[in-house]
A = this chain, B = another copy of it.
Amino acid sequence: MSGGLDSTTLVALARQQKFEIYGLSFDYGQRHIAELQAARRVAADFAVREHRVIRLDSAFFAGSALTDSRLKVPKNRSSEAIGNNLPITYVPARNTIFLSFALAWLELLDASDIFIGVNAQDYSGYPDCRPDYIQAWQTMATLAVQDFDKPDRTIRIHAPLLEMSKAQIIETGTSLGVDYSRTLSCYDPVGFVACRACDACLLRQKGFAEAGLTDPALGTDFSP
């Protein structure tokens, strides 16, 4: 749970499917620490059974503009530029690490389903948001948990946003009653206000425009 559009819509979809929800967020030294506050708001709104924030060794994620304050988050890029290069905001092996912790928690809970809000269409150049990656991860994870007691155990990864456009995600969430005024998507907030110029802000703006809706969080100051 990042506190943004995708993971919040994902929680609404999981709830609609009657799953008992355990929410996982990560503090990996990201610049946009305001996102963790948004994640906590959303977790409370949806009354998730438990919400954990795992602190990861931020030194390991150096070299990405999301975590390294010496690097500049790109602003006002065109849609083509967003879609066709591995961006400087890429964090090495991020989804692989996040999913690994989800797998550990799943084992402790004796659960079998993981929901992840990856999105291929708007994936902004991240290789670990693609369908073939998600499929391969599920195969690996199933082999990782099939022990002597549970030889037929299967892990199911749900990535219902994978093929959706940002507009479709917003429409889906809106139809499920998601209050997007509680969410924050920005990579590089100015204080606690979205910058409106990073890739995440541009994709969000485009999504609301295409859905014919107004972003209820636009301009909101999320200061605690």
Residue A101 lies at the interface, judged by CB distance under 8 Å to chain B:
yes
Q: Are A140 and B143 in contact (CB under 8 A)?
A: no
A45 to B90, CA, bound (A): 35
The one of B55, B63, B107, B128 that contacts A93, using a Cβ cutoff of 8 Å: B107
A88-114: CB near B (< 8 Å → 1, else 0) gives: 001011111101110111011000000
Residue A137 lies at the interface, judged by CB distance under 8 Å to chain B:
yes
A206 to B126, CA, bound (A): 47
The one of B61, B141, B143 that contacts A130, using a Cβ cutoff of 8 Å: B143
A57 to B101, CA, bound (A): 10
List, in ascending order, chain B residues with CB within 8 A of A95's CB: 144
Q: Are B140 and A96 in contact (CB under 8 A)?
A: yes
Q: Are B132 and A143 in contact (CB under 8 A)?
A: yes
Interface majority SS on A: helix, strand, loop or mixed? helix
Interface residues on A, range: 35 or more
Stretch in A145-153, A163-171, A178-186 touching the partner: A145-153
Residue A133 lies at the interface, judged by CB distance under 8 Å to chain B:
yes
With A57-B55, A104-B60, A104-B61: A140-B136 Cβ-Cβ less than 8 Å: yes
- Of chain B, the residue at the smallest CB distance from A126 is B147
The one of B62, B97, B132 that contacts A100, using a Cβ cutoff of 8 Å: B97
Q: Are B100 and A148 in contact (CB under 8 A)?
A: no
Question: Of residues 63 to 103 in A, which have CB atoms within 8 Å of B's CB atoms?
Answer: 63, 84-86, 90, 92-97, 99-101, 103
Apart from A61-B104, A93-B104: 7 A-B pairs, beta carbons within 8 A? A90-B147, A93-B101, A99-B100, A125-B148, A128-B143, A133-B140, A139-B140
A residues in contact (CB < 8 Å) with B = 54-57, 60-63, 84-86, 90, 92-97, 99-101, 103-105, 107-108, 125, 127-128, 130, 132-133, 136-137, 139-141, 143-149
